[in-house]
Every structure is written in structure tokens, then in C-alpha cells.
Chains A and B, each alone.
Chain A
């Protein structure tokens, strides 16, 4: 059976596409799939450092797409997770190094080698976006609860629909405390405005910063709320739709209830 290709996109930069790609790639591989994560941010590669694989790069996605190496040569095996591979971006080329034809050919090759391919799309709506989307079967739009990010997401969603892709939404960097006080857009507001299917909610989490610093997969950390949220999203992406989406606000209340019952303020 041929693998499926999912593009992780957003429009705006800095909302968590690369974080999501690394985390979802790891989580899907832990579910037993053979996974490739492809960094399409050509000229500004990031995914390699987030995954802690920056000093193993020999070939990159441009080499592979141009036929200068084989899929196996360009795929860097993850240090910890079985069946997880990174195809890094090239750092010396620019975004016009590849054409959509190159990408269609590349995606065809990758489908034969992997069960799931995640494409980390660069910010913007130019060539890099076109290239990332052209071979994709599905799309995940990452958005933060900010006016500018949601507006850009809306634009991207329109462009995806125009290519007959119905995207799913991750709302990332939610701060439950600020949502509760009315200072931040709630995920409901975001879903309401964008009106696409929600596939997961990820809170602002210090573990994202520490795991990025050390280049270790956040999904292996049982204590990380973001890591666990990404695991649930991965399961949903694989078709396990029964897993409920946890509202971070409910979770927050749950947390206070647990604390207050522990210190005897409230009976459970």
C-alpha cells in the first residue's frame, strides 16, 4: 500500500509548524508506522536541530528531488525512535531551487518507501508553500490564538480548498489562564472564525523549549502536556477518531480541583 503525505502549514511563521512536525512524526512512528519528516524550509532549515540530528546531514531534500541521491541516502534515522527518518532541507539553496514537478516526482518516491510522510512547510504563500502542498493528500493547519495568526490561517485554508484539500486545525500555544481571564482568544473563537475541523489543542508548555534545546522528542515525556497532546493528535491523524479533544480550560479546572482536594479545601 502507498503511504500518505500530510503537509503541516500555517501561513505565519513561528506558530509551531516545525515543533508539530517533529512531535507528530515521532508520535506516529511510535504507533508503529514508518515515517519520514521532510523539511521544506529551504535555506532556513530547522527541523534537524529540533530533532537533534543536525550533525548527521550528508544529503538533503534538494539532492534527493534532483536525483543526486537515493531516498535511503537522504533519510537520516532518528537516534531514539525506530522507524522515524528526517529528510533535511538544504541550507545553501533558495526556495526556488525546486519546482512543483520536482516535488510531484519526489512525493511519488516517498510514498513507496514510507507509510506516512509529514512535510514541514515554510511560512508564506510563495513557491515554498506551492512545493510543500503540491504532492500532499492531507493538510494540518497550525494556528496560535492571535489575530495575525488566525488571519493568515484563513488565507492558507482558502488556498488549500482551492487545491481540493480539506485541512484540519491544531490550535497551539494556548495559555489556559489567559483564556479563562478573557485575555486570550479561546480555541472556540478560533474554530468559530476558521470553521474547519479541529484535530487538537496544544498548550503553551515549557517542555517544548527544553526538548527543542536538547533535541529530544517531546512525545517521549509523559509529564509534558504538549507532548501528550501531540500523541493524541497523531492517533487521530491515523484514524482513531474516538479520542476526545481535551479542553485545556477543563484541564485547568481539573488541576485546581485536584490541588484543592489534596490540601483539603474541597471534597472529591
Chain B
């Protein structure tokens, strides 16, 4: 009985379920839109390798491309060891 009373009292302070649902929904939709498919990520990685290779000798196999997410932002993180910069003459204009 008393237990019930307390849990009711605490419950009153929380947002009503309908409101919670709306918040969760808005977050979910934002989150969904940040999602990138593996295929797109792979294509992007290939393009980046092409561009970087114009300027650097890179270790293509150990290049890593990731999307990291924090609560309200997501970031593209590229990690690649550089073997050597290309000589001036070799770089395109």
C-alpha cells in the first residue's frame, strides 16, 4: 500500500508516456538519418584512397574510415599511415 503510494508519487514527476514517446521518436528519426550504409562507406573510402594517392604514398590496406557518434553529432574519422609524400613533379597541377 505504502509502496504503491510512493511509486505513484514518483511516477507523477516523470513525463507522461505520450510525451516520452514523442521525444524518443524525434531522436530516433534524427539518428536514422545519420546512418550511412556499408556500401556508401566503402565507395567513399575508395574515392578517398584515389584522391590521397595523388599526393601521398599510403598504406591502402591499413586505411580506416569510421563514423563515430556522440549524442548530438556524428563525425567522419579517417586514419591512414603515410609512407611518403609524393615529389612535386609527381603531383598533378
* Chain A residues at the B interface, C-beta cutoff of 8 Å: 145-147, 150-151, 154-155, 178-179, 181-186, 189, 192-193
Contact = CB atoms under 8 A, between A and B. Distances in A.
B28 A151 contact: yes
Interface in B12-30: 16-19, 21-22, 24-26, 28-29
Given A182-B17, A183-B17, A186-B18, A147 B24 contact: yes
Contacts of A150: 25
21 contacts: A147-B25, A147-B28, A150-B25, A151-B25, A151-B28, A151-B32, A154-B32, A181-B16, A182-B16, A182-B17, A182-B19, A183-B17, A184-B18, A184-B21, A185-B21, A185-B22, A189-B21, A189-B22, A193-B25, A193-B26, A193-B29
B32 to A, nearest CB: 7
Nearest to A186: B18
Interface of B is mostly: helix
Contacts of A181: 16
Contacts of A155: 32
Contact of A185 (B18, B28, B29, B32): B18
Given A147-B24, A182-B17, 17 more contacts: A145-B21, A146-B21, A147-B21, A151-B25, A154-B29, A155-B32, A179-B18, A181-B16, A182-B16, A182-B19, A184-B18, A185-B18, A185-B22, A185-B25, A189-B22, A193-B25, A193-B29
Contacts of B25: 147, 150-151, 185, 189, 193
Question: Is the interface on chain B under 10, 10 to 19, 20 to 34, or 35 or more residues?
Answer: 10 to 19
A204 to B, nearest CB: 15
A183 B26 CA distance: 17
Interface of B: 16-19, 21-22, 24-26, 28-29, 32
A155 B32 CA distance: 9
B48 to A, nearest CB: 27
A150 B26 CA distance: 10
B29 A151 contact: yes
B88 to A, nearest CB: 46
A186 B17 CA distance: 11
Contacts of B29: 151, 154, 193
Nearest to B31: A151
A233 to B, nearest CB: 24
Contacts of A185: 18, 21-22, 25
B21 A182 contact: no
Contacts of A193: 22, 25-26, 29
A145 B32 CA distance: 19
Residue among B16, B22, B29 with most chain A CB within 10 A: B22
B27 to A, nearest CB: 10
A185 B8 CA distance: 21
Nearest to A188: B22
Nearest to B25: A147
Contacts of A186: 18
A178 B19 CA distance: 12
B16 A183 contact: yes
Nearest to A154: B29
A267 B92 CA distance: 87
B24 A183 contact: no
A181 B17 CA distance: 9
Nearest to A194: B29
Nearest to A158: B33
